[in-house]
DNA sequence: TTGAAAGCGCTAACAT
DNA sequence: ATGTTAGCGCTTTCAA
């Protein structure tokens, strides 16, 4: 630890200073800076000169208060611990930043109560719009949103009733399609490997869809295991080892996500378990790294970036409440 | 695409409404809500009852304007495309959210000019503090920061002069230590595999450090390759294939990061190249997935979460300008 | 303990 | 084309 030396000035250039230096009225400065209304070329130059001479930075807090609208968009996500939600943020922020909006983010850790708190504090900033993950929210969250009149986009889920815009796909269907795919390839002894994270409603819906898909074929899971959160490759390795120790004759495992499935694949590599002949592995998300494995992972590729992008687009366009099914892509890969 | 049906009310409960309903003055409501000044138990109850009856949500825009201080902290990062910066955000946002601060984020795509624009727009919100990646910024960025008087933390680099707080480690030293490690293990035909991303000054510094480390041992790189951005496992596979095609007798490759190195490892698996006997692989970052490989990746584990956490902590504590060397950990692993 | 009143720095009519 | 003047919804003296 070293101490930097540093002065701390406390300036405060306001629009009045700029107006004075430029020899014009405050509203004229405001017009020039916002390119609204009309002003002469000459006035504009005077103003801009004054702005840069003073190093004036407009105060959006005052601007937002006066105009009663902000350029803030709030994004509240469950987690930043794997690449899924950063991908969503990326898609949204490209759209938002190119339109001059600012992103305010919050992380719920998959807890509805935490989400509620974040919604409350973020609404205090009167954001132009709100992006949330999933369709499950507390009653108070819904009430606050309704009372504020803020536009909302809920993303990455389609199984339920939305508040305003909904952009995503059916998690249930994804789970069911996975079961159908594996059963279609002749698998009969299937297991599910998830994590203990009650707040992850999307994972729960996939799981339910998977069981429904098995039931369609008259099957029930040969085994199931939930390892402690967070999901990780290491957790996938361990979880698969546990499953196989308990139920050696499994012929397929559905992992809650690719991170876990990749770990499962490594377990097979290390133990000499032939994939997919002896055991099929199936993930979820379609992460890049899974596709670079010696055998590309069988998985469902989800439109995360696109969901963020589309949600932001609807919000920016002030579109009427819309439901967009972005779909997903089942990637057969080489592990099933 | 389906249209949700939805009403759009436009309420506007203000502190005046609360004051009226509670039968007290506005300033009393303000005091109760901010737990500042003094008020009777009874008054407090009346106010809180009115607040919940009306569903009042304080307007922080007005509050920030009146008090000339916001609870916003801005984080400007180069990218969200791999887990490195989300980890930083995670560390920072835990610290910030628990103190009631809001995170505003911006993504520069590794471009200083973009960073400058983001700094300008974010400063318009008069944030309490600013977290930036690295020490390289445009002159105008520095000028705006100085003029605004905002506190700053620059993270993940220590090689250069900081503006205010600096939290990170020497990227140059990390590259140099990697060279020393590989040379120490008897490697003599070393290559560097990076990506074409001129704005990534931290990667550049590692690369320079690596070359310096080789030079110490009287060596120069046997080959070098830069593949097009972004970095990915697939890019690592391809890059390694390219290197080996051109320089078959390499005995070690230093990858710009773990994502790339993991792809390189997969290439070796697929091609039957014995690691580390025939070829040593070394990455950077210490990603979880790399440690779950059948052979844990040799790499340098970087304190990303911690950097965000420490930076936020210094900022929240209003500490005097401080330089914190968080260090890094060389993980020998099994691929070198 | 509480209320009145003056801003915070800007935008949005409304004049001119 | 440009200036004047009210606010926007709070916080903060300052009195009472």
Mean pLDDT, range A52-64, rounded to an integer: 95
Chain A stretch 61-100, residues whose beta carbon is closer than 8 A to a beta carbon of chain B? 61-65, 70, 72, 80-83, 85-87, 89-90, 93-94, 97, 100
A54–B contact, CB cutoff 8 A = no
On whether both A312 and A164 belong to a single domain, the answer is yes
Q: Averaged over A238-245, what is the pLDDT?
A: 98
Report, as an integer, the average pLDDT of B163-178: 98
Identify the band that residue B43 occupies on the pLDDT scale cut at 50, 70 and 90. very high
Q: The CATH number of the domain where B165 resides is what?
A: 3.40.50.2300
Question: How confident is residue B2, by pLDDT bands cut at 50, 70 and 90?
Answer: low
To the nearest whole angstrom, how far is the Cα of A162 from the nearest Cα of chain B?
A: 8
Are B105 and B210 in the same domain?
Answer: no
CA distance B142 to chain A (A): 12
Q: What are phi and psi of A136, to 5 degrees?
A: -95, 120
Distance CA B1 to C1' C12 in A: 38
**Which nucleotides of chain D have an atom under 7 angstroms from any protein CB?**
1-13
Q: Are residues B212 and B231 in the same domain?
A: yes
Report the residue of A18, A92, A235, A288 to disrupt the B interface, i.e. the one with the largest count of B CBs within 10 Å: A288
Tell me the sheet residues that pair with A301. A285, A329
The whole-number pLDDT of residue B78 equals: 98
Output the pLDDT for position B65: 96
Residue whose structure tokens are 């002896």: A278
Mean pLDDT of A111-133: 97
DSSP A12: -
The Cα–Cα gap between A43 and B61 comes to 31
Query: Contact, B257 vs A289, CB < 8 A?
Result: no
pLDDT above 70 as % of chain A: 97
Q: What residue in A sits closest to B258 (Cα-Cα)?
A: A289
**Cβ pair B90:A106 closer than 8 A:** no
> What is the least distance, in Å, from the CA of A63 to any CA of chain B?
9
Q: Which of A104, A259, A322 shows the shortest C-beta gap to B103?
A: A104
Both A140 and A98 in one domain: the answer is yes
Residues of chain A neighbouring B58 (CB-CB closer than 8 A): 124
Q: What is the mean pLDDT of residues A147-164?
A: 96
Structure tokens at A261: 């499935």
In a domain, A259, yes or no: yes
Residue B335 lies in a domain: no
Model pLDDT, residue B3: 58
Chain A residues whose beta carbon lies within 8 Å of the beta carbon of residue B61: 61, 64-65, 70, 125-126
Minimal CA–CA distance to A266: which of B93, B266, B59? B266
Residues facing residue A152 across a β-bridge:
A130
Residue B63 belongs to a domain:
no
CA dist., res. A77 & res. A106, Å (int)? 6
Residue A47 lies in a domain: yes
CB A20 within 7 Å, strand C? no
Residue with minimal CA–C1' distance to D4 is A25
pLDDT of residue A7: 45
As a whole number of angstroms, the distance between CA B125 and CA B137 comes to 20
Domain assignment present for B105: yes
**pLDDT at residue A270 above 50?**
yes
Give yes or no: residues A148 and A219 share one domain.
no
- Cβ–Cβ contact B293 with A under 8 A: yes
Residue B215 shares a structural domain with residue B199: yes
Q: Which chain B residues contact residue A232 at CB under 8 A? A: 288-289, 292
CB contact under 8 A, A262 and B163: no
Q: Is the pLDDT of residue A8 over 70?
A: no
Residue B334 lies in a domain: no
What lies within 8 Å, CB to CB, of A217 at 6+ separation is: A179, A180, A183
Two structure tokens written together for A179: 């079961």
On whether residue A335 sits in a domain, the answer given is no
Question: How far is it, in rounded angstroms, from Cα B300 to Cα B282?
Answer: 8
CATH number for the domain spanning B24: value is 1.10.260.40
Domain count of the fold of chain A = 3
- Confidence (pLDDT) at A3: 57
Dihedral of alpha carbons A82, A88, A94, A97, sign: negative
- Same domain for B209 and B297, yes or no, is yes
Q: Count chain A–chain B contacts defined by CB atoms under 8 A.
A: 219
Whole-number Cα distances in Å, B45 to A21, B16, B58, B153: 50, 17, 17, 41
**Shared-domain flag, residues A214 and A294:** yes
A33 lies within 8 A of chain B by CB: no
Are A100 and B107 a contacting pair at CB < 8 A?
A: no
- Is there a domain that residue B332 lies in? no
B297 and B192, same structural domain?
Answer: yes
pLDDT tens, position by position, A76-111: 999 999 999 999 999 999 999 999 999 999 999 999
Smallest CA–CA distance from A105 into chain B, residue: B103
Give chain B residues 49-78 with Cβ within 7 A of strand C.
62, 65-66, 68
Model confidence at B318, in pLDDT bands (50, 70, 90)?
very high
pLDDT band at B1 (very low <50, low <70, confident <90, very high): low
Report the residue from B3, B120, B121 with minimal CB separation from A321. B3
Residues of B (170-229) whose Cβ lies below 8 Å from A: none
Distance A106 CA to C1 C1' (A): 38
Q: Does B7 or B276 have the greater pLDDT score?
A: B276
Please give the residue of chain A at the shortest CA–CA distance from B324: A1
Distance B52 CA to C2 C1' (A): 22
End-to-end CA distance of chain B: 53
Tokens at residue A211, please? 């069981």
For residues A23 and A84, state if they share a domain: no
Q: What residues of A are in contact with residue B1 (Cβ under 8 Å)?
A: 322-325
Confidence of residue A233 (pLDDT cuts 50, 70, 90): very high
Whole-number pLDDT of residue A6: 47
What tens digit of pLDDT does each residue of B67-92 get? 999 999 999 999 999 999 999 999 99
Are residue A291 and residue A248 in the same domain, yes or no?
A: yes
What range does the domain containing A196 cover?
171-301
pLDDT classification of B12: cutoffs 50, 70, 90: confident
Given a contact cutoff of 8 angstroms between Cβ atoms, the answer to whether B176 and B151 are in contact is no
Lowest-confidence segment of A185-194, A219-228, B10-19, B267-276 by average pLDDT: B10-19
Q: Are A203 and A230 in contact (CB under 8 A)?
A: no
Test the B interface: residue of A4, A15, A68, A319 with most B CBs within 10 Å: A4
Q: What residues pair up with B129 in beta bridges, in sequence order?
A: B73, B151
Q: Enumerate the residues of chain A whose CB falls inside 8 A of the CB of residue B292.
A: 232-234, 236-237, 262-263, 266
pTM of the model: 0.95
Residue A137 burial by Cβ neighbours in a 10 Å radius (0-12, 13-18, 19+): buried
Q: Does position B184 have pLDDT exceeding 90, yes or no?
A: yes
- Asked if pLDDT for residue B7 goes beyond 60, the answer is no
Residues of B in contact with A100 (CB under 8 A): 121
If asked whether residues B290 and B317 sit together in one domain, one would say no
Question: How confident is residue A226, by pLDDT bands cut at 50, 70 and 90?
Answer: very high
Q: Which CA distances in Å does B181 have to B76, B143, B185, B187, B333? A: 33, 41, 6, 9, 12
Strands B223-228 and B280-282: unpaired
Decide if A305 touches B, using CB distance below 8 A. no
pLDDT digits (tens, 9 = 90+) for B196-208: 999 999 999 999 9
pLDDT value of residue B182? 98
Closest CA in chain A for residue B268: A294
């Amino acid at each position: 630890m070293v101490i930097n030396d540093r002065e701390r000035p406390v300036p405060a250039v306001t629009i009045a200073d700029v107006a004075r230096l430029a020899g014009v009225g405050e509203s004229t400065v405001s017009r020039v800076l916002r390119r609204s209304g009309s002003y002469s070329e000459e006035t504009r130059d005077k103003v801009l000169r004054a702005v840069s001479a003073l190093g004036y930075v407009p105060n959006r807090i005052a601007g937002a208060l006066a105009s009663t609208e902000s350029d803030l968009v709030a994004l509240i996500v469950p987690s930043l611990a794997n690449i899924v939600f950063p991908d969503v943020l990326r898609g949204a922020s490209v759209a938002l930043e190119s339109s001059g909006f600012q992103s305010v983010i919050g992380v719920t850790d998959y807890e509805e109560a935490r989400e509620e708190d974040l919604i409350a504090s973020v609404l205090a900033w009167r954001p132009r719009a709100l992006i949330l993950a999933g369709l499950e929210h507390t009653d108070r969250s819904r009430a606050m949103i309704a009372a504020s009149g803020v536009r909302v986009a809920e993303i990455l889920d389609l199984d339920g009733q939305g508040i305003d815009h909904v952009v995503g796909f059916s998690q249930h269907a994804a789970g069911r399609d996975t079961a159908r795919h594996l059963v279609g390839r002749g698998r009969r002894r299937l297991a599910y490997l998830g994590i203990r994270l009650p707040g992850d409603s999307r994972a729960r819906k996939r799981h339910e869809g998977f069981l429904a898909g098995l039931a369609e074929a008259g099957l029930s899971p040969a085994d199931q295991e939930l390892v402690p959160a967070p999901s990780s490759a290491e957790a996938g390795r361990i979880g698969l080892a546990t499953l196989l120790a308990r139920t050696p004759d499994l012929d397929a495992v559905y992992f809650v996500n690719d991170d876990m499935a990749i770990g499962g694949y490594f377990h097979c590599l290390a133990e000499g378990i032939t994939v997919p002949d002896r055991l099929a592995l199936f993930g979820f998300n379609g992460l890049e790294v899974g596709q670079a494995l010696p055998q590309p992972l069988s998985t469902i590729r989800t439109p995360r970036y696109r969901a963020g992008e589309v949600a932001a687009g609807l919000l920016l366009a002030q579109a009427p409440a819309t439901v967009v099914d972005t779909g997903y892509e089942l990637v057969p890969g080489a592990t099933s």
